[in-house]
């Protein structure tokens, strides 16, 4: 489990909330992107160490919705999508893993919806090398 699973869960929930989306982008927008689309950005990551090689990770996201309608209707479209996202983003899931969405906040700035939230999960780090290995030793004994 990790950030890729969380991105899949966000994309799935965006498609449920806004079925007419052309694309969902991660981290950057390509040139000539077809509207409407969503851009998913990580805005903050907070990690706290736990027992037994575990760490608690809190990811904060800014999901930006760029509307595809005429310029005079963009703010109205953003308000409609904002209500849908606020209704849908409670528990998101992908690959059989669910994430609880917390700290939901939304605003429209320059005809772009910014839907912000955080999701928290626990990761277990796996050591690359085993802690114990078989020891081969040649012992020469003197009599």
**E strand or H helix at 128:** none
CATH architecture label of 3-124: 2-Layer Sandwich (3.30)
- Give the residue from 17, 12, 18, 13 showing the smallest Cα distance to 35: 18
Question: DSSP code of 71?
Answer: G
pLDDT in tens, 63-120: 999 998 888 999 999 999 999 999 999 999 999 989 999 999 999 999 999 999 999 9
Per-residue model confidence as pLDDT tens digits over 37-63: 999 999 999 998 878 788 888 999 999
Q: How far is CA 48 from the centre of its chain?
A: 18
Show me where the domains of the chain are located: 3-124
The contacts of residue 142 (CB under 8 Å, 6+ apart) are none
- Residue 68: closest CA among 58, 78, 60: 78
CA distance 48 to 37: 33
What angle, rounded to 10 degrees, do the helices at 74-88 and 3-17 form?
120
How would residue 143 be classed by pLDDT, with cut points 50, 70 and 90? Answer: low
């Amino acid at each position: 489990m990790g950030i890729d699973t969380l991105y899949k869960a966000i994309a799935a929930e965006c498609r449920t909330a806004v079925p007419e989306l052309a694309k969902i982008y991660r981290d950057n927008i390509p040139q000539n992107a077809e509207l409407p689309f969503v851009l998913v950005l990580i805005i903050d990551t907070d990690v706290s160490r736990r027992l037994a090689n575990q760490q608690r990770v809190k990811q904060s996201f800014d999901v930006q919705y760029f509307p595809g309608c005429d310029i005079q209707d963009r703010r109205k479209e953003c308000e409609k999508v904002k209500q849908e996202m606020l209704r849908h983003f409670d528990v998101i899931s992908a690959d059989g893993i669910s994430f609880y969405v917390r700290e939901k906040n939304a605003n429209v700035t320059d005809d772009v919806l910014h839907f912000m939230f955080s999701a928290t999960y626990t990761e277990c780090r796996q050591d690359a090398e085993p802690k114990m290995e078989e020891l081969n030793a040649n012992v020469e004994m003197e009599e």
